[in-house]
Structure 1
Amino acid sequence: MENRIGTMTRSEASVLSTNRVIRNTYMLLSLTLAFSALTAGASLALGLPHPGIILTLVGYFGLLFLTTKFRDSGLGILFVFALTGFMGYTLGPIVSHYLAMPNGGQVVMQAMGGTAAIFLGLSAYALTSRKDFSFMGGFLVVGILVAFLAGLGAIFFEMPGLSLAVSAMFVLLMSGLILYETSNIIHGGETNYVMATVTLYVSIYNLFTSLLHILGVMNND
């Protein structure tokens, strides 16, 4: 009888811990998305130039390293906002470029709507079905690495066809990453809401920019 009570207590504690991670993750994600939108809007309004691929990568990986290092302290939250704010700043010039196109406002709104629909739909499916998508981990790591290197090649060698293919790959990969990370939280694989927030934010950011690229190309015939 005591063992059963102890087992139930551990099970309940596990459920409470998981619910706490989910709640904190989505709360922090909402705040960082709002902050990122604010910095993107400021960058757009001020007409700030894009920092370039090199500075973007240095800033992103540098802030990601600091966030990971301090993920268990208050500094981790500070670096999450620094990371998402920086990425929001890089997004401003990108959005500005598309707004300058014919029907650019419509393209941006479609990309935002598509991103929101995919994220909310996949998150709701993972949360309600409670399926375990951990089997996707290895595939996602390899796929993201290949797509990342292909994207760099498309930029440096100016290959628009490859760039479009990379954007399509990222839409699929980021959708998979949303399912994987949400499932990871539910099943206790991810217990740190700071890192969970970063993963979901990066998924949303890349999903939005990839949809923006694809829709922009379609709009430009």
Structure 2
Amino acid sequence: MDTRNSNVTTLEARPWYGGEAVTPERANKTLRQTYALLGANLAWSAAIAGTVTAMGIPGPGLILTLIGFYGLLFAIMKFRNSGAGVGLTFALTGFMGWTLGPLLSHTLKMPGGAEVIAMSLGATAIIFFGMSAVGLTTKRDLSSMGKMLFAGMIVAVLASLGAIFFNIPALALTVSAVVVLLMAGMIVFETNNIVRGGETNYVMATVSLFVSIFNLFSSLLHLLGFANSND
């Protein structure tokens, strides 16, 4: 993905995807649409997670989680340019809210669990808004971050699966710490990619940011929960 050394206020019309020009106005429109859809999806996912937690509904399990996540992600990519794509984002984020419910239930059963969740939410919000501000205002070309972050996530996913299958808590904690750093970088990269015209589809931009926020919160919850249990 190509980017240029200019911020959103000085972005010139330039050719992207099939020669289509991306103007500052269109980039800003994509950003507004992304934030609006992201906010709605965050609220929906939180509602599902809260319902699952309150009712004690068990999680889908690792295999179904992987099938559901990647299946819905593939469907969103296929229908990203239609209204169905918007609807599918809610299917994905609702499904991810379901997977989060059991983790919240487990945390609430710990001494000080409610405080751990509150701290994780607060830290997630601070990191998201802080990294978004960097992505919106920096004049640096951040396109080179993409490959590095993608490679980091592949390693993190493999290490996470290894920690689950071989039951290595120390590795799981290390992965959570690395994911926090990776997701902070992803938020900067993804936000900057929108304002520079590298991502013109607000459905895909929403999914990318949501997944980053979800992984960030889950990892912080794991780390803070562990720290709280050892106090």
CA offsets, 1:44-84, max 9 Å, x none? 11110011111111100000000010000000001000000
1:104 matched to 2:99: no
Structure 2: 5+ residue stretches without partners: 1-10, 15-20
Q: For 1:1-221, what aligned pairs fall within 5 Å after superposition?
A: 10=13, 14-221=23-230
Relative to structure 1, is the Cα distance of residues 169 and 13 closer, same or farther in structure 2, using a 3 angstrom cutoff?
closer
In 2: Cα distance, 1:13 partner to 1:174 partner = 27
Q: Is the 8 A contact 1:132 1:187 kept in 2?
A: no
In 2: Cα distance, 1:108 partner to 1:54 partner = 26
CA offsets, 1:112-137, max 9 Å, x none? 00000000111012112343311101
CA offsets, 1:93-124, max 9 Å, x none? 11010010000011110000000000011101
TM-fit CA distance, 1:175: 0.6
SS at match of 1:90: helix
TM-fit CA distance, 1:89: 1.1
Q: Which segment drifts farther, 8-17 or 52-61? A: 8-17
Given residue 34 of structure 1, which amino acid in structure 2 is its aligned partner? A
In 1: Cα distance, 2:72 partner to 2:22 partner = 33
Q: Is the 8 A contact 2:132 2:187 kept in 1?
A: yes
> Which runs of at least 4 in structure 1 moved beyond 3 Å after TM superposition?
8-13
Q: Percent of pairs identical after alignment?
A: 55
SS at match of 1:134: coil
Q: Is the 8 A contact 2:12 2:24 kept in 1?
A: no
In 1: Cα distance, 2:227 partner to 2:110 partner = 12
Relative to structure 1, is the Cα distance of residues 118 and 10 closer, same or farther in structure 2, using a 3 angstrom cutoff?
closer
Structure 1: 5+ residue stretches without partners: 1-7
Bigger helix share: 1
Given residue 48 of structure 1, which amino acid in structure 2 is its aligned partner? I
